[in-house]
Amino acid sequence: MKLVSITLENFRGYKEPTTLLVDSAFTGITGKNDAGKSTVLEALDIFFGNSNIDKEDKNIDSYGSTKVTCTFDDYPIFLSLDSGSQTNLKSEYLLNNNGLLEICKTFDFGTSKASEKISLKCMYPSNEGLNDLIYLKQTELKKRVLARGLKLEDVSDLRSNTSIRQFLYSSENLNLLEQEIFLNKEDAKDIWISLAKHLPIYALFKSDRNSNDQDSEVQDPLKLAIKLALSDIQSQLDEIQEHIRTKVIDVAQRTLEKLEEMDASLAEDLVPDFTKEPDWKSLFKLSLSSEKGIAINKRGSGVRRLILLNFFRAEAERKINESSGNSIIYAIEEPETSQHPSNQEMLIKALIKLSDLPKAQVIVTTHVPALAGLMPLDSLRYIYKTEETHRIDHPSDVLYEHISTELGIHPVKEVQSSQAKGFVFVEGVSDVVFLKHIFAKLHESSLIQRNYIEDKKIHILISGGSDNLKHWVNYKLIESLGKPWCTFFDSDNDGTNCQKYVNNLKLQQEYNKKGILFHLTHKRECENYLHPNLVYRISNGELNYVVDPYEDQKEKLQPLILPYKTIKKSQLVEKLWSQMSSEEIIEVSNLENGGNEFINFIEKLEEKFNLRTF
């Protein structure tokens, strides 16, 4: 199941029903401090049963019930509501007007502890005698058949409540109206029991949590690691346990024999008892320390939080692996807290990549420009306060402009001052190095007329992606200046038509239809264009290496060259690409059907940017 939306009513600052739409992959929530961003994440935590609601969660100006409503798609096709039969939500009329599963949890605070009601908001039959069938037991359903002048023998399976309900529904034309079906009542409880098994796993990481190595989010995965390690050697542990049991009982028996010589009645009353099984996992305690023995809780707050955040990710991934098909929602509050700007950017990119997993959704809150600027445009949500309640705005040009102004996301200065004929958007620093060297070497070898980058007729802009706010802000200014632009991005093609590659192809088609050159590398990434001869030279002739066009070269190549050059995986292109000759660049970028990828790209740029006229 995938979360589609959450609606809050009378929950903290949300007095009126307020809905936040959730993206199927990544959702970025922005807004000022105390705008209500964390409230959304904590309401989801309550909805999924990870934490409890209390009176302080009720809106102080409201006398009505507190409600948290979530809608889902990708819900299970079949449900087992009674023994021996299956049904589905559609045939039971338990979906809302949009064909989605809408679950509402209602909380009342009449007593010290909140009472909870669970209901489905759905288009349910309103016909008299058919508007309550979901609540009836089998005996009552059979009576309803007879009361409507129908024959029990016409029901296909009288042992199945589902079958009897379907028979009754088919007995007349149904008038469907939006209704609330309470799942705490009678036989409707079976629906919730069945649905609850399919709900997503919700994992919340808060910015104000503890940050030492004894925190539960750290200890839980480490304890699990100990448990798994012990399970691997369970047979040896059983042998040790039996060996100790035998030895100890032998000693006890010989002790009793000696005792019998001195006090037979006392010895007769005593029996060797070895009832307590050893708890092996309690014998081990694991924490993290540096090589110099410095414990994590003695490190800086940023380091502690970064480690905790990645423990959270590891634990959440464990849950999804053990969930038998359940999807998982990672909710992360202000991942930028205590982090250096470079770590902030790495974190948001890692979380966006995490959201590409088919069963994963990621929800992030932030008010930092660096993070908000890198979030996909369609993912952005803006929360703000009015005099009466909180409001949520969803994607639009008005929203993008508001967020960029509010958070201070401005166009790069070079766009405003540049005399360039056009702009090329790339994803990162490595791409700038990559393109600059291509232009320089191809011009040096007279394969292109001019080095347009050196001549400052083309300006390269780092946007981090083609569909984020940072790109949108720069694009809007370039558009107002009436200058052309294009993109040069990694294809991310791993040879399997992965989702990221498919998404990139869709973007390429959309931009090309608008007449915008959107170049995707034919190979996976810039690293895949490193020539084998370069690797051979670096290793002093020791490595004969074949660069695969689709493999992750950062993961594969970096360990191989470490003995010769210490280079971070993220800096392979930055450190090595400048050592490529023009002949090697041409060779690695030649196309199977003739022509050359980079020369073709530059020729298209010349045409789009009207560069041949100057």
Q: Quick check: 294 pLDDT over 80?
A: no
Average pLDDT of the residues in 284-300: 62
List the chain domain ranges.
215-286, 410-614
SS3 state of residue 104: strand
Q: Which of 15-24, 153-162, 210-219, 386-395 has the highest mean pLDDT?
A: 15-24
In whole angstroms, what is the distance from residue 393 CA to residue 384 CA? 8
Q: What is the mean pLDDT of the chain?
A: 81
Token pair 């969660």 is found at 57
Residue 212 DSSP one-character state: S
Q: Which of 14-28, 212-226, 466-480, 538-552 has the highest mean pLDDT?
A: 14-28
Q: Once rounded to an integer, what is the mean pLDDT over residues 71-77? A: 91
State pLDDT tens for residues 423-461: 888 888 888 899 999 999 999 999 988 899 888 888 888
204 backbone dihedrals φ, ψ, rounded to 5°: -110, 130
Instruction: Calculate the alpha carbon distances from 126 to 58, 173, 178, 191 in Å.
Output: 32, 11, 9, 20
| 56 close to 8: Cβ distance less than 8 angstroms | no
**pLDDT higher for 216 or 200?**
200
Pairing of strands 458-462, 422-426: parallel
The enclosing H or E element of 195 equals helix 189-196
> Do residues 262 and 251 touch, judged by C-beta distance below 8 A?
no
In this predicted structure, which of 154-163, 228-237, 533-542, 589-598 has the lowest mean pLDDT?
Answer: 228-237
Mean of pLDDT values over 515-530: 92
pLDDT at residue 36 in the model = 87
User: Tens digits of per-residue pLDDT, 390-412?
Assistant: 778 776 777 777 666 666 665 55
Nearest C-alpha neighbor of 382 from the set 12, 4, 27, 72: 27
Contact 384, 32 (CB under 8 A): yes
**CA distance linking residue 180 with residue 188, whole number of Å:** 12
- The pLDDT score that the predictor gives to residue 386 is 78
Instruction: From 214, 165, 223, select the one nearest 191 (Cα to Cα).
Output: 165
- Report the C-alpha gap between 301 and 507 in whole angstroms: 40
The answer for residues whose C-beta is within 8 angstroms of residue 555's C-beta and 6 or more apart is: 569
Q: Is the pLDDT of residue 465 over 70?
A: no
End-to-end CA distance of the chain: 57
CA distance 353 to 313: 12
Question: Which pLDDT value is given to residue 218?
Answer: 47
Question: For residue 555, how many C-alpha atoms fall within 13 Å in the half-sphere facing its CB?
Answer: 5
Taking 60 as the threshold, does the pLDDT of residue 29 lie above it?
yes
Predicted confidence at residue 82, as pLDDT, reads 59
SS3 256: helix
DSSP 276: P
Return d(Cα 375, Cα 359) in angstroms, integer: 20
Contacts of 590 (CB under 8 A, 6+ apart): 596, 597
Is pLDDT at 245 greater than 80 in this prediction?
A: no
Is a pLDDT exceeding 80 seen at residue 162?
yes
Determine the Cα–Cα distance for residues 491 and 481; give it in Å rounded to an integer.
Answer: 29
How many Cβ atoms from other residues are within 10 Å of residue 576's Cβ? Answer: 21
Task: Provide φ and ψ at 174, rounded to 5°.
Answer: -90, 140
pLDDT in tens, 79-110: 876 555 678 889 899 999 999 999 999 999 87
Q: What residue type is assigned to position 411 of the chain?
A: P
Select, from the ranges 98-107, 155-164, 227-236, 265-274, the one with the highest average predicted confidence (pLDDT).
98-107
What is the mean pLDDT of the segment spanning 286-300?
60
Residue written as tokens 């493999």?
Answer: 551
d(CA 235, CA 276): 18
pLDDT (tens digit, 9 = 90+) per residue, 353-380?
778 877 889 999 987 666 777 777 788 8
For 569-609, the pLDDT digits (tens) are 878 888 899 999 999 999 999 998 889 999 999 999 998 88
pLDDT computed for residue 293 by the predictor: 61
Residue scoring higher pLDDT (381 or 401): 381
What's the pLDDT at 211?
46
- Model confidence pLDDT, tens digit, residues 581-590: 999 999 999 9
Task: Work out the pLDDT band at 554, boundaries 50, 70, 90.
Answer: confident
Alpha helices in 157-211 (DSSP H): 161-169, 189-196
- Of 122-126, 291-295, 386-390, give the lowest mean pLDDT range: 291-295
The token pair at 341 is 């700007």
CB pairs under 8 A, 24+ apart, for 134-137? Answer: 134/92, 134/94, 134/165, 134/181, 134/187, 134/188, 134/191, 135/185, 135/186, 135/187, 135/188, 136/161, 136/186, 136/187, 137/161, 137/186, 137/187
Q: Where are the alpha helices (DSSP H) in 469-552?
A: 469-481, 499-513, 532-538
Question: Average pLDDT, stretch 283-288?
Answer: 67
Residue 118 has which token pair? 């669970």
Higher-confidence residue of 530 and 341: namely 530
Confidence (pLDDT) at 207: 59
Structure tokens at 493: 């093609």
